[in-house]
Every structure is written in C-alpha cells, then in structure tokens.
C-alpha cells in the first residue's frame, strides 16, 4: 500500500531501540502536537479577541463565558502553552542526557533551543494579551528589565513597548508579536528543525557498525505510537482545561493597578526570585543570558560524546555536559519553588 | 498496540461526552443592554430574581453595572463580583461618586436640588462633627465647640455657615485617652461606618443606610424603623466612653419609637420621622454644620403654628416646583397645581400635607400612606405664651404617658 501523506512525513523505518517511549519520552512529538493545538485554538480565539486596550479584557471574558465552548478553547490554548514549555524542556534535557546533540546535530540543537526561547516568548506575550489587572505588574517588571541593558536598553524597550507606557498602549505590539511575528518564526524554525532531523540522519543513533540492536520498526508502527500519544495528551489536555481554568482577572479600568501579590508567569518566577537579590541587570538579564549561552554552547565547549554513546541515556563520555545542565535545571527549579513559597 | 489505541479512543470519547455534559449544566446567559450604557451585561443570568431597585432606576434603563460596577461579561461569580464598587453597596461613601454621582445623576446642579452627594457628604449624619467637637472640647483638646474635624475630610467652597472644611478625625493623634476611647467605641453611628452587631442596628452605609428599605430596594418612603437602626438605640456613657445599648425590648410602636426617658406626643410616634423632618434636615443642605442643632429645625409649630400665628402655606403654581418632584418620587398623594400645602419656616415644602377648605390640615404618611387631619393651634384653647413655642413646651401638656 502506498503511504498516506501523514505516513509519508515519517521515515520508512527507524531503529527500534531509539523509537521506545523510555528513550524519546515522546517529548518532541508531543511538542509538535501541542503546537498544532495551539495554532488551531489560537485561530478560534482570534475570531473574538480584540487587541484594543479598552476591549481586550472584555473580549477575553466574551470568549471565556459567552462563546459556545469558548472557555474550553481558551483553556486548551492555555494548557497547551504551559505543557509545551514543560515538554520542550524535557525534550531539551533528553537530548543532552542522551548525547543526541553531537555532530552532525549541533546546529539542529541550536534550532531547538531557539524554538524553546520562542515558546517562552509566545507564552509571555500570550499572557499579556489578557490585558487585565493581573498582567500589569509582570509586564512593567519584564519590560523595565530591558531598560537596564547598557547602551541599547532604551532602544530595545521602545521596540518592545512602542510609545506610551507599558500598561496603556503596548497591547497591539504584543498582539502582533504573538499572532504574527513570533508565531511565524516558530513555524519556520519548527519546519527547519524537523527537516534537519531527517537531513541529519533521523533520530540520534550510534553509527551502524557500533549498534548492538539492529531491529527497526516501520512507519506504520511509529504512526500508531504517535496516535496513541496524541490520544493520551488530548485526554489530559481536556481534563486540565475542564477542571483548571486559565487565569483571568477584572478588566483594567483607568489607571493600571500594581497589586502587591502580583507574580510573574510561572516560567519566569525564577528570574523574579533572583530580582529580589539586587541589581536588576545582573540578576534579571545577565545571569539568564549567561545560562542561555552555556546551554547554547553545550555541543561546542564540552568534551564530545563517543560515537558509541550517542542515543544512550547518561553516557560517561558527556558527563560534564550532563552535570552542567542538571545544575542549571535544578537551580531554576529551586528558584521557582522559592518564589512560589515566598 | 491496537488494543491500547481502542482503549485510548474510548477514553477520549468519554472525556468529550463529559465536556458536553458539563457544558449542558451551565446556565443560559441572559443578556441585558441598558439604554443608558448601550453595553450588554449578563448579571441577570444569576440575578433575575432581584426586585426592581426603584421606579426611578428601572433595570432596562440602568442595568446593574452603571451603579454596581463589576465585570459585566463574566459568568463566574468570583470574577464578575471582583470589581464591584463598595461590595454589595455601591452607595458606600467611599465609592458613591463613581456609583451614584455624575452631573446627570446625584452630583447635579445645586439650584435644582440635585447635589445629593455633596449634601450627604457635608451633613452631620456623615461628618459627625458635633459629637467630635463636643468630646474634644469636653476633654480639653479644643478651646471651643466649633467644628474642626469630621469623619472624613470634607470641603464646602460655597459655605453659608462659615465652615469651609473639616479635617479627618484621627483618634490616634489625640492625647486624651477618653477621646481615643471615643474614637474606638463611639464612631459607629455615622454614614461612613459599618453598624454595630445585632439585628436592631442592621443597616447599610452611605445612601443605602436610609434609602435601602429592604433588600435591593431604594425608596424615599422611609419608615421610622430605618431611622431607628441608629437613633433611639442607646446612649453614650461619657464617664466610661462606651456606648450602652438600649436594654428594654419594645414590642409595640409606642415603646419602640423613642427611648424610655424621651417625651413625645401622639403624632410623633404615629407618624414616621420623615413625615415632619425635611430632606435638608435629614440629608443636609450642602453646607457644613457645626452640629445637629444647626440643621434640625422642624418643631410642632412647623405644622401647627402658634396661638398667634398660622403655619406657612404655599399654593403650587410651578410644575417644576421641588414639591411636585418629591411627590412624584413617592406618590402617596396626588399633588396638583393649585393645591395649597404647608411649608416650613425655611420654606421647604411639606408636600404630603394639604390645607383643607375648612382651614384645617391633612397629612398623608410618606411610608404608611395613612391619612391624618389636624388643626392649627390658633383658635384652640392653648394658652401657652407666644415666646415659648418650642416642642419641649408643647410636651408639657401633650406628651403621651407610658
């Protein structure tokens, strides 16, 4: 039987050992599915959302409460976005811990890291689109951080906010970045990332002469596994969306309010926690950028993994990279927990 | 694998059915687009059982949000209510300007009598200026009985009483322990304050303290029971600086009306407070007054006159007369042009009275709609001298025995 379009997107066969859940964790594929859900629910939301500062929060209320199944669509969009950050993070850790980033996949590792950053930015801009009382504090804090950058800070701030003040007029910019600029970049990078997976030889495995397990599975089996993952993730998403609605707050009226207990969105809580320690540029911009640079340089500065170690969990030959990434991950988690309890 | 796929598909279908069921349980949204705002609101989805708040504020015209605030499109109770002005009471004086004010509403033209909020803000019911001045004078914190402090800062640029402003009274700035104690124990009887605990004290704050005669009802037909939530509820003990609640348990209106030591006549407990006391006495006249005595003036003679003088009267000729407006807001009597009514010494209309053809008078209860007739003192057997005509003198002969 000639393969369908969907089957044709997959390689005819892939190594059985690297097609297992316990190897891939299903993270990359789940991320793709979540992005599709985000695109679809985002388009549905766009039918009702109004990027006008006076109407934005009210249009979000309209979507949430009045449009048939609008609340469900918005909650699915919200939860897909949160899960995407989580799943993309897991995907990144998997790639590091299985030495899958090594040559020739070094560039694709950078593309993936870029996608992760885009996911964070999309999540943040989407959060701002609520344009209600809950978003003002993180918006002002986040964009004021840009101003602290020496020399070019004010310029970047103007690009991000435009004229006027953060909580009064910046909505349209965030809207365009969210639905157009960042989304377009994410689509391009995603397609590129997937293309490079195939171009770089498919999923990371040792070269043929070093493989201990030569079994392969067909793309029919691979698609079945993907469908199963999609079904499970769909059920999880629907349950999350039904029982844990996305945050919403009263519309901003007149002067924006800076509530004292305001928090950054959860994925930036670790930065918020560091900001309590002192200089906003050092703790809010420089340290996060240094951590990002270390992550980006993982394939380049640490000892190269042995060919036989590619595609195996926690191989000895890239121990240094593993330890560095574990330390960064645990630090970010610890800071997030600190911010949550304080 | 196929087994798992079938199982997962079944579970997904179950989840979708569950969503459909959850959605079917949501209430059907009820939209209302009030003519004044032109913006749809969905409050009636849950609140369709509330009575119309008053004939002057029909829900089809006003809706809910223009007074109450709140998130008009939210169908989640917490979010919908989160931005309401003054919680359940938008007339609380901290938010009243946003809720009830505006030049088309109750912060309107003074000459037309539409400056209700300014009048309430400056009234002694709101400033409590007299009591504060009295206590501060008594305990040596000020040299005279002039009003310097009110419950909140208030100004009156067009003063006729000479008092242009009051500072907010802050008991923590007082050195006398008695004044501090007064601040703690004795500030529950003004319009800014939450009432004391107990059913007898139950009232709202702000405008609603007087005008909310029952749940979600605003009225100018205010029964004496509304006034009694503050008045006649007990006394301040100046020695201990505490409020001593009234201990008797009145079961009839006669006993309920005034405290045991008070003297009063039959009409004073048969009528409601608002039948005799005028709108400026109760709500203020827009000027800051030094104390209650400075604004309260209705006496027996206001309606009955004296042995030598009949009460003032006025024949209605102007359809825009305030008397007609007041009669329209509380239509207990069909007031027409050409009718002659009693007016107070200051010229305020007692619009619920009539001068009858035989020279006697009629009064219709504003809250009870009862019809009473009464006579002037002139021509009666009253021998009280013309100089001594305050109510206290009338009580000497006419007080009710209890």
Q: Do B75 and A225 touch (CB under 8 A)?
A: no
Please answer yes or no on whether A231 and B11 come within 8 Å at the CB atom.
Answer: yes
Q: How many domains does chain A have?
A: 1
Q: Quick one: chain A helix, strand, coil %, rounded to 5?
A: 70, 0, 30
* A100 part of a folded domain: yes
Distance to chain A for B101, nearest Cα, Å:
17
Closest alpha carbon to A17 in A194, A199, A192, A210: A210
Please report residues of B whose CB lies closer than 8 A to that of A62: 73
User: Which of A87, A167, A105, A92 is CA-nearest to residue A130?
Assistant: A167
Q: Which residue of A has its CA nearest to B28?
A: A66
Query: How far is C-alpha B227 from the chain's CA centre?
Result: 8
CA distance A186 to chain B (A): 29
For A221, nearest residue in chain B (alpha carbons): B1
Burial tier of A39 (Cβ tally within 10 Å: 0-12, 13-18, 19+): middle
Q: Output DSSP code: residue B310.
A: P
A247: in domain? yes
Tell me the three state secondary structure of residue A13: strand
- Of B344, B339, B294, B334, which is closest to residue B316 (Cα–Cα)? B339
Show the domain range for A172.
11-258
The CA–CA distances, whole Å, from B362 to A97, B57, B265, B379 equal 97, 30, 18, 17
**By CA distance, what is A235's nearest residue in B?**
B12
pLDDT score, position B248: 78
Q: Which of A203, A228, A229 is nearest to A18 (CA)?
A: A203
Chain B residues whose CB is inside 8 A of the A72 CB are 19, 23
Q: How many CB pairs under 8 A join A and B?
A: 66
Instruction: Supply the DSSP symbol for A129.
Output: T
Which residues in chain A have their CB less than 8 angstroms from residue B29's CB?
65-66
Q: Is residue A322 part of a domain?
A: no
Closest CA to B43 of B5, B91, B77, B94: B77
CA–CA separation, A317 vs A70, rounded Å? 51
Residues of A in contact with B15 (CB under 8 A): 234-235, 238-239
Which CATH number do you get for residue A229? 1.20.810.10
Please name the residue of chain A whose CA is at the shortest distance from the CA of residue B20: A69
Tens-of-pLDDT digits for all 342 residues of chain A?
688 888 888 888 999 888 888 899 999 999 999 999 999 999 999 999 999 988 999 999 999 999 999 999 999 999 999 999 999 999 999 999 999 998 889 999 999 999 999 999 999 999 999 999 888 888 888 888 888 998 898 898 888 888 777 777 789 989 999 999 999 999 999 999 999 999 998 888 888 888 888 889 999 999 999 999 999 999 999 999 999 999 999 988 766 666 666 788 899 999 999 988 888 899 999 999 999 999 999 999 988 888 888 888 999 888 999 999 999 999 999 999 999 988
CA distances from residue B364 to A79, A291, A298 in whole angstroms, order as listed: 66, 83, 91
User: Cα–Cα distance between A49 and A42 in angstroms, integer?
Assistant: 10
> Which residue in the block uniquely carries the two structure tokens 């000020």?
B142
CA distance B241 to B299: 31
A40 occurs within a structural domain = yes
Q: Which residues of A touch B12 (CB under 8 A)?
A: 231, 234-235, 238
* A226 interaction partners in chain B (CB closer than 8 Å): none
Closest residue on chain B to A69 (Cα) = B23
* A300 belongs to a structural domain: no
Nearest chain B residue (CA) to A73: B19
> pLDDT in tens for each of the 402 residues of chain B?
889 999 999 999 999 999 999 889 888 999 999 999 999 999 999 999 999 999 999 999 999 999 999 999 999 999 999 999 999 999 999 999 999 999 889 998 888 788 999 999 999 999 999 999 999 999 999 999 999 999 999 999 888 888 999 999 999 999 999 999 999 888 888 999 888 888 888 899 999 999 999 889 999 999 998 998 888 888 888 888 888 888 877 778 887 777 777 888 888 889 999 999 999 999 999 899 999 989 999 999 999 999 999 999 999 999 888 999 999 999 999 999 999 999 999 999 999 999 999 999 999 999 999 999 999 999 888 888 878 888 889 988 898 876
Three-class SS string for B112-148? CCCCHHHHHHHCHHHHCHHHHHHHHHHCCCCCCCCCC
How far apart are the CA of B85 and the nearest CA of chain A, in angstroms?
12
Domain boundaries, chain B: 26-84, 116-283, 298-393
Structural domain contains residue A336: no
Q: In chain B, which residues touch A (CB < 8 A)?
A: 1-2, 4-5, 8-9, 11-12, 15-16, 18-19, 22-23, 29, 42, 71-76, 79, 82-83
| Chain B CB contacts of A249 below 8 Å | 79, 82
DSSP string of A62-90?
IIIIISTTHHHHHHHHHHHHHHHHHHHHH
> DSSP string of B160-180?
SSS--EEEEP-GGG---HHHH
Sign of CA dihedral B59, B65, B70, B76: positive
DSSP B27-60: PPP--B--TTT---B-THHHHTTSPPS-TTS-HH
| Any domain includes A96 | yes
Collapse the DSSP code of A235 into the 3-class scheme (helix H, G, I; strand E, B; otherwise coil) and give the result. Answer: helix
- With CA atoms as reference, the chain A residue closest to B2 would be A224
What is the ipTM, given to two decimal places?
Answer: 0.84
Q: Helix axis angle, A182-199 relative to A27-46, nearest 10°?
A: 150
Structure letter (DSSP) for residue A285: I
Among candidates B4, B5, B79 on the partner chain, residue whose Cβ is nearest the Cβ of A248? B79
A chain contacts of residue B11, beta-carbon cutoff 8 Å = 231, 235
Which of B73, B75, B97 to mutate to probe the A interface, most A CBs <10 Å? B73
A237/chain B closest Cα distance in angstroms: 10
Q: Are B7 and A231 in contact (CB under 8 A)?
A: no
pTM of the predicted model over 0.80: yes
- State both tokens at B243: 């409020």
Q: Return the pLDDT at A256.
A: 61
CB B350 within 8 Å of CB B344: yes
Flag if B42 and A250 touch (Cβ within 8 Å): no
Cα dihedral B201, B221, B37, A256 in deg (nearest 10): -20
Q: How far apart are CA B138 and CA A48, in angstroms?
A: 66
- Contact between A69 and B23 using a beta-carbon 8 Å cutoff: yes
CB A231 within 8 A of CB B9: yes
What is the predicted pLDDT for the residue at A210? 84
Residues in chain B within 8 Å Cβ distance of A220: none
The structure tokens 């121990």 sit at: A319
Residue A159 forms part of a structural domain:
yes
Query: In Å, how far are A31, A100, A189, A329, B389 from A92, measured between CA atoms?
Result: 11, 10, 15, 11, 95
B23/A251 touch (CB, cutoff 8 Å), yes or no: no
């Amino acid at each position: 039987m000639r393969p369908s379009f969907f089957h044709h997107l997959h390689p005819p066969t892939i190594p059985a050992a690297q097609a297992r859940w316990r190897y891939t964790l299903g993270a990359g594929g789940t991320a793709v599915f979540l992005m599709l859900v985000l695109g679809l629910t985002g388009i549905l939301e766009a039918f009702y959302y109004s990027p006008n500062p006076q109407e934005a929060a009210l249009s979000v209320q309209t979507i949430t409460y009045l449009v048939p199944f609008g609340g469900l669509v918005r909650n699915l969009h919200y939860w897909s976005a949160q899960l995407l950050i989580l799943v993309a993070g897991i995907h990144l850790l998997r790639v590091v811990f299985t030495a899958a980033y090594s040559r020739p996949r070094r560039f694709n590792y950078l593309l993936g890291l870029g996608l992760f950053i885009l996911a964070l930015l999309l999540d943040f801009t989407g959060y701002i689109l609520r344009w209600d009382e809950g978003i003002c504090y993180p918006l002002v804090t986040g964009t004021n951080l840009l101003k602290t950058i020496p020399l070019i800070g004010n310029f970047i701030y103007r690009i991000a906010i435009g004229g006027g003040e953060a909580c009064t007029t910046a909505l349209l910019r965030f809207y365009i970045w969210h639905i157009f600029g960042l989304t377009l970049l994410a689509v391009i990078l995603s397609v590129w990332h997937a293309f490079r997976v195939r171009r770089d030889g498919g999923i990371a495995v040792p070269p043929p002469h070093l493989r201990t397990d030569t079994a392969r599975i067909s793309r029919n089996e691979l698609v079945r596994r993907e469908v199963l993952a999609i079904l499970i993730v769909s059920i999880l998403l629907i349950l999350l969306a039904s029982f844990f609605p996305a945050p919403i707050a009263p519309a901003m009226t007149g002067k924006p309010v800076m509530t004292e207990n305001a928090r950054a969105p959860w994925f930036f809580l670790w930065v918020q926690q560091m900001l309590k320690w002192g200089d906003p540029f050092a703790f809010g911009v420089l340290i996060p950028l240094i951590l990002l640079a270390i992550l980006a340089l993982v394939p380049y500065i640490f000892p190269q993994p042995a060919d036989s170690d590619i595609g195996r969990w926690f191989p000895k030959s890239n121990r240094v990279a593993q330890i560095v990434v574990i330390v960064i991950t645990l630090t970010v988690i610890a800071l997030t927990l600190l911010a949550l309890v304080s | 694998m196929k087994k798992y796929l079938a199982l997962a598909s079944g579970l997904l279908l179950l989840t979708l059915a569950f969503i459909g069921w959850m959605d079917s349980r949501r209430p059907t949204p009820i939209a209302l687009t009030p003519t004044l705002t032109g913006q749809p609101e969905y409050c009636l989805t849950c609140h369709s059982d509330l009575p119309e708040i008053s004939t002057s504020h029909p829900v089809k015209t006003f809706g809910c949000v223009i007074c109450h605030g709140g998130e008009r499109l939210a169908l989640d109770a917490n979010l919908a209510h989160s931005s309401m002005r003054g919680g359940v009471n938008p007339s609380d004086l901290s938010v009243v300007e946003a809720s009830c004010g505006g030049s088309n509403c109750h912060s309107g033209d003074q000459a037309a009598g539409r400056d209700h909020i300014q009048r309430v803000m400056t009234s002694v019911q709101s400033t409590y200026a007299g009591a504060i001045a009295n206590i501060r004078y008594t305990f040596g914190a000020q040299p005279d009985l002039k009003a310097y402090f009110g419950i909140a800062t208030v100004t009156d640029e067009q003063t006729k009483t000479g008092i242009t402003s009051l500072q907010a009274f802050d008991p923590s700035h007082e050195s006398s322990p008695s004044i501090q104690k007064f601040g703690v124990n004795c500030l529950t009887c003004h319009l800014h304050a939450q009432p004391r605990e107990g059913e007898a004290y139950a009232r709202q704050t702000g405008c609603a303290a007087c005008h909310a005669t029952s749940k979600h009802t605003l009225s100018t037909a205010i029964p004496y029971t509304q006034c009694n939530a503050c008045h006649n509820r007990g006394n301040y003990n100046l020695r201990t600086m505490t409020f001593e609640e009234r201990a008797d348990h009145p079961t009839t209106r006669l006993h309920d009306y005034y405290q045991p030591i008070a003297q009063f006549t039959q009409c004073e407990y048969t009528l409601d407070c608002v039948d005799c006391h005028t709108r400026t006495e109760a709500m203020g006249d827009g000027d800051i007054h030094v104390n209650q005595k400075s604004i309260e003036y209705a006496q027996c003679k206001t309606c009955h006159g004296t042995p030598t003088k009949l009460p003032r009267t006025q024949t209605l000729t102007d359809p825009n007369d305030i008397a007609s407006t007041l009669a329209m807001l509380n239509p207990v009597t069909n007031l027409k042009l050409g009718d002659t009514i009693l007016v107070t010494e200051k010229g305020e209309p007692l619009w619920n009275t009539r001068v009858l053809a035989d020279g006697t008078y009629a009064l219709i209860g504003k809250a009870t709609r009862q019809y009473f007739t009464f006579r002037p003192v002139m021509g009666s057997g009253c021998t009280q001298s013309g100089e001594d005509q305050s109510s206290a003198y009338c009580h000497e002969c006419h007080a009710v025995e209890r």
